[in-house]
Amino acid sequence: MTRFYLFSLGVLFLACKGESQDKEAPQQTTSPEVVVHEEYIGEEPTEPEQTEFYEPVPPVVNPIGNNGAPSDAIVLFDGSDFDLWEMSNDSSEVVWHLNDDRSMTVKDKTGDIQTKQKFGDVQLHIEWRSPAEVQREGQNRGNSGIFLSGLYEVQVLDNNDNDTYVNGQVGSIYKQHVPLAKASVPTGDWNTYDIIYHAPEFNSEGGKIKSGTITVIHNGVLVQDHVEIKGTTPYIGWPKNPPHGKGPLKLQDHGDNSRVSYRNIWIREL
Ligand code: MG
């Protein structure tokens, strides 16, 4: 019915437009979710207006309007404090290092940290750095990770001159998806990750009805292209699919003095 109404409205609009320039254009009163481009159905349009839409109107976002983050982003960490974070194991105050250069560094063997707020689908910006002083090799060199919904890890690793299994290298969805490229900056420099995450969906019985997806851009290079999340990302074992709602953003303490640092973390709920 709504579709028919919209179509009729479009025809009426075009008819009125020809009659009088004084009359106001009819107002569309439908919500953005139900605006259907009915004009694409049926006969080939003959007027340009038939394929031009004015709703939904996108919100205005200042890309640097929130201390350098988009105006509608939640700034999770700007270097001043850990107010929006907690230790993952017991929700206590964060004990990781807060540095003078407005970054944080993993404090070895203290455990992961996570946001107090829980999120569903998000766009995430986060910057990370491996320590300039190289120690150890493979998975034990500058290993950390970013867990969406607290469950699905985008790997952080110092992979420069340091090979490991490719589905666990930097930019991988850990043990699930090999990155499309290795796009790291030199060890000790700051990397950026821009991540688009859509959470999986579950029915009331706890069964997964839709897989989650992740897109990762590493230093401006696409490394994960809307890949399907198969489940959790354990070190040992296959992915599991426990039902969940919104979850925290979690950062990993790999427990081997990897000394990875983070800064400029902001998130936009989608
Ligand atoms: Mg890791």
The verdict on residue 12 lying in a domain is no
What is the Å distance from ligand 1's center to 250 Cα? 11
The verdict on residue 62 lying in a domain is no
Kindly state the tokens that stand for 106. Answer: 């993993």
What is the Å distance from ligand 1's center to 220 Cα? 21
Structural domain harbouring 90 = 73-269
Q: Which residues surround ligand 1, an ion (CB under 5 A)?
A: 143, 145
Cβ atoms of residues 106 and 258 within 8 Å:
yes
The model's confidence at residue 14, banded by pLDDT at 50, 70 and 90, is very low
pLDDT above 70 for 11: no
Comparing CA positions, the residue from 63, 89, 84 lying closest to residue 252 is 89
> CA–CA distance from 115 to each of 187, 263, 265 (Å)?
27, 14, 11
CATH number, domain with residue 185: 2.60.120.560
pLDDT above 70 for 8: no
Percent residues over pLDDT 90 in the chain? 82
The verdict on residue 83 lying in a domain is yes
The verdict on residue 38 lying in a domain is no
The verdict on residue 41 lying in a domain is no
Q: What is the pLDDT of residue 184?
A: 98
pLDDT, one tens digit per residue, over 214-235 is 999 999 999 999 999 999 999 9
Domain count, the chain: 1
Q: What is the pLDDT of residue 39?
A: 60
Mean pLDDT of the region 180-204 = 98
SS3 156: strand
- Count of Cβ atoms closer than 10 Å to residue 141 Cβ: 22
Stated pTM of the model? 0.85
Count of alpha carbons within 13 Å of 13, Cβ hemisphere only? 19
Q: What is the pLDDT of residue 42?
A: 77
**Average model confidence (pLDDT) across the chain:** 89
The verdict on residue 96 lying in a domain is yes
What is the Å distance from ligand 1's center to 235 Cα? 9
What is the Å distance from ligand 1's center to 143 Cα? 5
* Distance (Å, whole) CA 236 – CA 102: 35
The verdict on residue 204 lying in a domain is yes
pLDDT above 60 for 31: no
The verdict on residue 34 lying in a domain is no
Residue with tokens 């953005």: 32
Q: What is the pLDDT of residue 36?
A: 59
